[in-house]
Amino acid sequence: MNAGHLVLWGAVWVCGLQAAMWLWHLRTDNAGWVDVGWALGLGGLAILDGIFGPGDPQRRLILAVMGGVWGLRLGLHLWRRVGGEPHEDGRYQQIRKDWGGNIRLKFFFFFQAQALLDLFLSLPFHWVALDGSKRIHWTVWLGLGLWLISMLGESIADEQLHRFKADPSSQGKTCRSGLWRYSRHPNYFFEWLIWVAFFLLAVASPWGWTAIFCPATMLYFLLRVTGIPYTEAQSLRSRPEDYRRYQRETSAFLPWFPKKVNE
């Protein structure tokens, strides 16, 4: 496929997937399915570009593995979380309150906005898929190494939090074990590093430098928009005293040693 066909079929994939997630959210009354569609959509775009792009087959294989495995792991993790919770995530409950009436239609456009975000964030996948150079630059191997470390870190953080929440004795408490002792959001930190790895995968390709906007966008969203602000606001609503202490003790994003806080 040429560049135009890759973009077209990619748009069909992510918009169709998010439309299906929107329909499922109508049945379950849970807007959290948009997150599942976001992750699976991006993973699918990496596989689509990796299989059908006209560029070098070796790098397209690396792309398909890196993007596909990341998207599938995160998508299945989110599927387990969204499908296993009896209630909708507090972030989306708050959005329902803030957005007022006609919420189903508003959520349809919200779901489709996430599909468009997928298309933008797939920029590094696109440049790799179009690059016909046979030489594999050292930044590709650096990106692959960072991706492996970040995937491991994010998987461990997600599993530690899942086990904590599954323990009945953890009700009303904040997870402070494992990686969560050193960062209030280790999953977000490693997620951002994965996007740095995708940038490194693409940077040596023609126009690959423009992929820097993807980890920059992810960092902005995680720190200022839908990541830490919404998550911490919900935590403060559900367990205000315990979480305020956790905020004083623990780094928000970058893992670091916890502070000692006087009673």
Structure confidence at residue 263 (pLDDT): 58
Its pTM surpasses 0.85? yes
End-to-end CA distance of the chain: 63
**How far from chain centre, in Å, is Cα 14?**
15
Residue labelled with tokens 């890196």: 66
Secondary structure (DSSP) of 147-169: HHHHHHHHHHHHHHHHHHHHSGG
Residue 132 burial (CB count, 10 A): 11
Q: Tell me the CA distances in angstroms from 102 to 22, 25, 96, 99, 188, one per residue in order.
A: 14, 15, 10, 8, 32
Q: Please list the rounded mean pLDDT of every run of 10 residues in the chain (263 residues).
A: 88 97 94 95 96 93 96 94 82 84 92 96 95 89 97 96 90 92 96 97 94 96 89 88 93 92 65
Q: How many whole angstroms separate alpha carbon 38 and alpha carbon 40?
A: 6
Amino acid at 5: H
pLDDT at 219: 96
The C-alpha torsion from 224 through 226 and 258 to 240, rounded to 10°, is 110
Question: Contact 188/222 with Cβ under 8 angstroms?
Answer: yes
Cα dihedral 219/221/223/229 (nearest 10) = -160
CA distance 25 to 40: 16
From residue 155, give the alpha-carbon distance in Å to each of 36, 71, 192, 195, 211.
16, 12, 13, 15, 24
In the chain, how long is the greatest CA-to-CA distance?
63
Task: Give the CA angle between residues 29, 32, 33 to the nearest 5°.
Answer: 85
Q: Where are the alpha helices (DSSP H) in the chain?
A: 3-28, 33-52, 57-84, 90-99, 103-121, 123-130, 138-166, 186-202, 213-224, 228-238, 240-249
